A and B are shown apart, each in its own frame.
Chain A
């Protein structure tokens, strides 16, 4: 509960102060491949919503891309408990992690399309 409160406060602060405006971030979306193939995270989509780096880094995710997928607890159950994406994707800040599955899960097909050099998925994200 404390984590959720802190997150909420931080998110609101970030939105108010506009800390996100000048941040630089990886252009290409991150595509996790464990424990299942093809889970997309787009920095751009999240930055465009006015979030800042510090909101997730390094508390929820380390700077090194896809490091989290090495953790044994990088599973949906953890998200439901407020870890990782679940910190915001809880149904109040952002859509709950147990809904809209195929929004982040682009699947084997989506991952393949991205690795084949297409940037379509980025455009699909809007």
Chain B
């Protein structure tokens, strides 16, 4: 009679379930923020981080980025510390599969979306792939500036000198740079980002990469991106170049591979053996050894198997491993 409509008519239909867990508004927001982050490489875009059925600190940022992107056609791989079979990786992979009916894989080259914590895979990723990194602390300036408002100003002014002061202090005290993970890197010559806790070994892999890298911090509610073919330069002094971790000619005890990032396996005797940290790549190497027809399933790695040289010549000034 009056044209008044009921609340249930006005509200969006309650389906009780939304594809890929997040509701459509949340996914739309995330996609918009991702696009903005792609447009401003390395800039931290704030976003409304949603509640998820896992705790903050277990990859909620990466999970939300993945959920906003995933479709039924996608092939998702999840890595934790280089391994596909660790509890956190397996849980996240199963969850993403359940809510999106996507395909899942452990093969880096077959995946369309790779969600990862701590590592970038050893095989060179292609243009059709997206790497989602879970980030615990997105702010590279936190160590030198405790006031978050001030550090935003410093990002705005491109005032990153204090990060070099940090490097200087380490060189004076320890004669080498001691940052093991989250090595700050300048993206596209403008913003310095903290590339999540990946080892120094993995930072050069983001430079001029063919794939899109999305870094998302769920607890800190910040998202930033390294678009494909974008320069990523780890901070260094002119006369003290950035160095990757020395793998000291270690050989993988399972696959026999070398010049890859190794996990140290302590032995009872007090010594140690080493395994390639990227389990999917390690298994491919093992499978290749068993093959009789001479074909290989392992892809081309970022670091050469024999020499250990990075695939982009000259990017690492100090190629000694």
Do A and B belong to a common assembly?
Answer: no
Which B residues form the contact surface with A (CB < 8 A)? none
Which A residues form the contact surface with B (CB < 8 A)? none
